Amino acid sequence: MNTPNRPLSSPHHTRPLFSNRRPRKVEPTSLPMLDRVLQSVALAAVLTTILILTLNPLTGLWHTALGYLVTELSMNAQIVARDIHVGQASLGMRLGISMESPAPDSFALMLHGLMCIGVFGISWAVMSMPLRCGLRLLCVLHALGLLMIAARGNAFPYSLLDHTRVLYDSSLIWLLLTPSLLAAGFFLVERSWLNRLAASALILGFEIIALPLKLILHSLLVTLLSPVAIPVLFLAAGPVLDILLLAALYAWVLTWPQLKFKLR
């Protein structure tokens, strides 16, 4: 007796040709670019305005923190503050650290020259290529600074007060520019308002806390290494370091998951 031919079981026949499920509603993944730009500019303007309006308490806080650190570290230093006025408005203080330090003699210049040669040679055998190039560049710049200082004789061109004041100015300007830098990149690609606010608070808070610590650290290093280290300190741990730290924090906040605020 002949049996009807049955189709062989195949995985192609077990799946329906057409799915009965409704297609998932596609949610918009981004706002129009014009809206993003306007939101970024508005948020940067608000943050910059807040920073400018709080410069008086901020500089007062930094002045207090510097005085506390100088006392705790038993540094023979003095905090020099000068008010900043724009018209009739007061925009905080310009801070610096003054410390008596003798001008470097020929022995100090020779010692730093030998240190440059030693570090330059050690970097060839120990460090990898990127770090090696950066360290060698600093050695060359420091050696050129030593030659310029030796050529001037007893007229040493740098002082700790001038160095810390310039460092303070550059750090303060960088702090005020940070919201605009975030608006040019992070605020445009980030959709979550909580992420924007949290990242801004983190980065600005870090820069606010780091400013007095940076001035104290530079003062301690100048005391330890001699004033001839001021130029290389400014190059290695000045505005360039601020840029690198902002880039590192920027790369980190880009990896955050989207924060959402839910009311129960």
pLDDT surpassing 60 at residue 20 = no
Is the pTM above the cut of 0.75? yes
Q: d(Cα 180, Cα 58) in Å, to the nearest integer?
A: 20
Return the domain boundaries, the chain: 48-100+156-255, 104-155
Q: d(Cα 131, Cα 122) in Å, to the nearest integer?
A: 12
152: left (phi over 0), alpha (psi -120 to 50) or beta: alpha
User: pLDDT digits over 40-93, tens only?
Assistant: 999 999 999 999 999 999 999 999 999 999 999 999 999 999 998 877 778 889
pLDDT surpassing 60 at residue 141 = yes
- Residues 168, 96 contacting (CB under 8 angstroms): yes
